Amino acid sequence: MTAAFVDVVIACHDETRPLERAVRSLFQDPAVRDRVRATVVAHGLAPELLERKLSAIDGDWRVVGFSDGVRSAAGPFNHGLALVESEYCAVMGSDDFLEPGAMAQWVAYAEKERPDAAIARIRIDGQPIMPNPLTRVGRRRRLDAAKDRLFYRTAPLGLIRTATMRARGLAMTEGVRVGEDFEFGIRLFSQSDRVDFLGDAPCYVIGVDARERTTLAPMSMEEGLAAVVRLLDDGLPAQLAPAHRRALAIKLVRISVIGNARSRPDAAQWRDDDEVRFLASLLQRLVALAPRVLEPFNLQDRGILDGLLAEPTIARVTADAARAARAGRRERWLTRNPLRSFGRETMLRRYVLYVLKRERKAPRP
């Protein structure tokens, strides 16, 4: 058997997960079956349990044991990635899988182009392809973290050059329940020499049939945003080039601040005003990191952001979220300064790119 070109690390903490589907999808393309290895990390499980599940699969797979007593995929992913000896590596969830032809095209592209990272297209099972990253029209190679909005895809799904990962000291963040891949992805996309997008290849598919996912379990605002706070505390954003720093701050405001504020429209969903103040303090740190960070946000979102900065209370944030939910086109399309409404990070620019790139297509069978 030829030495593996790609080693895919799969972390599994529950023997009921559809692990066989994940591993089988790695070997479904005959042309590259002997170029791929699967390293399954049995997280807190006896390796024999998972070996029995995989026994009928023809391919180069191995199961290694790992136990840290922590409810996070960071530890097992780091353990598996430390064992990688192939030129490229990848990570995969145990309930996820690849579409037919994905691995064959990934390997062919990486062998020809040798990028530091090749970003895969992704979709949730049964849903359309996600328009993420929303790259510049026609851009596939040598992407820029800011110009091609890579920070919206911090999950490093696709292929990663192993030498780059180790030279940059990339690792999943341990000790957080969610967001363990934030720093890994940010460093990979902003500090690598070359990042490409596998924009024509079949997808990485996020499975939805697991009994439970750590990312969907109830948690406080502080728990859910611990990885973001740690990222800021460790000082990585301040090390980035100014354009990348601003792009990261905008992404965190949009996803971590506005996303959380709008996900709790009812007062009963908040523990107390301390949770709102925590969210507001995160927003203040992002404004300090990139002083012009609020300029690209539409009127709909500025209402929430301005409220958090002026009056971080449950009454105010829920009222602002309710008002945002009723926003019309003007509020959704325009920024406070109308002349900035077509900026790279504005919602109007994103709507235009969605149409031009035709990313919202029907899901694959």
The Cα–Cα gap between 333 and 175 comes to 39
| Phi, psi (deg, nearest 5) at residue 307 | -65, -40
* Residue 298 DSSP one-character state: B
Structure pTM?
Answer: 0.92
Three-state helix/strand/coil letters over 131-148: CCCCCCCCCCCCCCCCCC
The one-letter amino acid at 135: T
pLDDT given for residue 210 in this prediction: 62
Q: Is 151 helix (H, G, I), strand (E, B) or coil?
A: helix
Residue 18, preceding peptide bond in cis (omega within 30° of 0): no
- Encode 45-70: b = buried (16+ Cβ within 10 Å), e = exposed: beeeebeebbeeeebbbebeebeeeb
In sequence order, the 6+-apart residues with CB closer than 8 A to the CB of 30 are none
Structure tokens at 147: 């110009």
**Helix extents (H) in 98-225:** 102-113, 162-167, 182-191, 221-224
pLDDT given for residue 364 in this prediction: 43
Question: What is the torsional sign of CA 76, 132, 136, 196?
Answer: positive
Would you give per-residue pLDDT tens digits along the chain (365 residues)? 457 999 999 999 999 999 999 999 999 999 999 999 999 999 999 999 999 999 999 999 999 999 999 888 999 999 999 999 999 999 999 999 999 999 999 999 999 999 999 999 999 999 999 988 999 988 999 999 999 999 999 899 999 999 999 999 999 999 898 999 999 999 999 999 999 999 999 999 999 976 555 445 578 999 999 999 999 999 999 999 999 999 999 999 999 999 999 999 999 999 999 999 999 999 999 999 999 999 999 999 999 999 999 999 999 999 999 999 999 999 999 999 999 999 999 999 988 888 876 544 444 43
pLDDT given for residue 135 in this prediction: 93
The Cα–Cα gap between 230 and 80 comes to 23
Q: What domains sit in the chain, N to C, each tagged with a CATH number?
A: 6-208 (3.90.550.10), 221-357 (no CATH)
User: Which H or E run contains 88?
Assistant: strand 88-93
pLDDT given for residue 119 in this prediction: 98
The Cα–Cα gap between 207 and 18 comes to 9
pLDDT given for residue 336 in this prediction: 95
The Cα–Cα gap between 61 and 7 comes to 9
The Cα–Cα gap between 103 and 247 comes to 31
Q: How far is CA 214 from CA 112, 172, 179, 221, in A?
A: 37, 15, 11, 15
> Which string of DSSP letters, residue by residue, matches 2-58?
PPPSEEEEEEE--TTS-HHHHHHHHT--GGGGGGEEEEEEEESS-HHHHHHHHTT--
**Beta-strand relationship, 117-120 and 195-198:** parallel
Q: Name which of 135, 101, 115, 126 is nearest 203 in CA terms.
A: 101
